[in-house]
Amino acid sequence: MSVPNIDAVKSYLLDLQDRICDALEAADGEQKFIEDSWDRPQGGGGRTRVIVDGGIFEKGGVNFSHVFGDALPASASAHRPELAGRTFEAMGVSLVMHPKNPYIPTSHANVRFFIAEKEGEEPVWWFGGGFDMTPYYGNDDDCRHWHMTAKDACDPFGEEIYPRYKQWCDDYFYLKHRDEPRGIGGLFFDDLNELGFEKSFALMQSIGNAYIPAYVPIIQRRNGTPYGEKQRDFQLHRRGRYVEFNLVYDRGTLFGLQSGGRTESILMSLPPEVRWGYDWKPEPASEESELYEHYLKPQNWLEV
């Protein structure tokens, strides 16, 4: 298996953060990301970029982090006990964008690299990440575009990649306690190393590069859609599901907190406003009920 080039991965991730922030600032049209660089006492650091009260985005964050230490936290080694006792490096770009307009979906993307080493043994490394979309008011054209862009990013690496990562995403972004998906999915992958370093790195880059062409056209199509208090209330209700997933299930959140990461950067993915109503249910045959009846049903979005 080819030897990982850690410097090349870091260089790509820093450039990806720059390119994504530039594209999202251009889409927003009003606000810029503010940057907050930080150091981790146990080793490493990062740069957090946040946009607030923009023309499009109520809140959004695009994080780069590179942390290292003497032992992986439990969230990373639980399903791979052979990694216990190894030193590690972890780096990645992670982002969540929460729009103002309820007709623009929330989006999430993440690409990351882990390597765990022990003297006298081969390093253990892998890539992970993906992107997924969480609409409040679904649109078939948006879902089709999102998934077609995802498929196009995967296809050069094998026709089996998209359906496998799509299913993995559907399974991962699922709220078991609510018995419902978080959104309409996209791609999710982890433990990727079977292609060798160069090809695995290329696949990770293809997926990272696909986020902007997947999301920005949806922003542009939906931004002019008028909305009122009813739509805003529903958006805040559904954001509650987003918070629940991130705090209960998300591997990145758990890894960051357990590894002594920077709490402000880890929790920048949470929306600025959210609502939990007791036993709330949508009115039958409403726009809101359509989300549950059609869009929160895993399906082949390429054929809707």
Q: Give binding residues for substrate as ranges.
A: 94, 110-112, 260-262
Which one is catalytic: 108, 145, 237, 294? 108
Ordered DSSP codes for 55-80: SSEEEEEEEEEEEEESS--HHHHTT-
DSSP state of 105: P
Answer yes or no: 294 catalytic. Answer: no
Contact 157, 195 (CB under 8 A): yes
Return the amino acid letter for 300. N
Angstrom distance (rounded) from CA 97 to CA 110? 12
Contact 131, 110 (CB under 8 A): yes
Ordered DSSP codes for 157-176: G-TTHHHHHHHHHHHHSEET
**Farthest-apart Cα atoms in the chain, separation:** 64
Going by the annotation, the residues of the binding site for a divalent metal cation are 98, 108, 147, 177
> For residues 149, 287, 96 and 153, what is the CA-based torsion angle, rounded to 10 degrees?
-10
How many residues make up the chain in this entry?
A: 304
Element (H, E) at 300: none
Going by the annotation, the residues of the binding site are 94, 98, 108, 110-112, 147, 177, 260-262
Angstrom distance (rounded) from CA 188 to CA 301? 16
Contact 202, 155 (CB under 8 A): no
Active site residues: 108
